[in-house]
Amino acid sequence: MKLLVTISILIAVCSSAPPSMIPGDNSHYVEGVSRYVWMPDGEDVPHLVDLEEPIDEDVLYGRNGANNQYWLFTRRNPNNAQILRNGNAGSVTNSNYDRNRPLKVIVHGWNGDGNSKVNTAVTSAFLAVQDCNVIVVDWRDLANRNYVTAANGVPGVGQFLGNFLVWLINTAGGNWNNVHLIGFSLGAHVVGNAGRTAGGRPRRVTGLDPAGPRWGGNSNALNRNAGGYVECIHTDGGLLGIFDPIGHTDFYPNGGRNAQPGCWVSTCSHSRAYDLYASTVRTDHLVGRRCNNLNEARNVQCSGSNLRMGNGVLSKSGSGLYGLRTGDRWPY
């Protein structure tokens, strides 16, 4: 009985303990217990988030996935987006979209937009090595609200994205075996919902440190049903990202947790996922070793078969947990 009382007191203390006022310092955070956590926006600037903040229902139901914007980039327009509009065939036929090219779809996370670093880093990486269509999804209307509201809006954003992709391929052509969805943080769960809405037809889905707070055990989270091959790269597991494996293949660079090499602010580890991924698209140089269990992955004690982390190869497949070490600066 005394033990139960002690545990209850500890939980209460942790839950009510004030967060660090040093931007980006999450040393106070206890997964599933703490109310406050620092999260980076689309430019990696930390913001203090209240995980119990009330949902803004007017925003949630008034600014849902119907407000998604779809920005097309190709080698013919690598820096200036062409806007594709769901239901408007002319917006596609008058663009540089080519049904014979691979299609890459990138989705930002909380408090981001189409110009966020994840989009620019991954888009430029793809266009440097592949002649492809890149669609950046801008869902800022919801993403820029409080975190709880944005998280609750993720399924709707993903469903609208999935329906848009079905319409795009049915209208303008394309091949689902050439479709690759990539999402960072909350965006990872957006692409999960999009892939499931499209019947799991995307050939490949990549989750970049899928958001953790409010997503453990959530049926709307990214899972293996989103596409033919679902891969996750975990860099801040147990804090801003999910640590448990949720894909066909889950990579745990440097143990998959905070702090990643070269990161001096807690929130940096979360954002490191897309930097690592962009680097692998360009160079395909990071190789994981298969782990027997999650503990081996956490401690980077894996010695099984090799599998390259990330990259943009559409035919890629695999399964299991993989650990590896990286450098502390680009290209890692």
Structure tokens given for 131: 């002649």
> What is each CA distance from 136 to 13, 72, 123, 151, in whole angstroms?
42, 7, 8, 19
Report the alpha-carbon distance of residue 26 to residue 6 in Å, rounded. 24
Nearest to 156 by CA among 247, 41, 68: 68
Residues 6+ apart with CB under 8 A from 185: 108, 109, 110, 208, 209, 210, 211, 240, 241, 270
Report the alpha-carbon distance of residue 84 to residue 94 in Å, rounded. 9
Which residues are known to be catalytic? 185, 209, 285
Nearest to 52 by CA among 39, 35, 37, 33: 35
Q: Is the peptide bond before 213 cis (omega within 30 degrees of 0)?
A: no
Coil, strand or helix at 26: coil
Provide the H-helix boundaries in 198-265: none
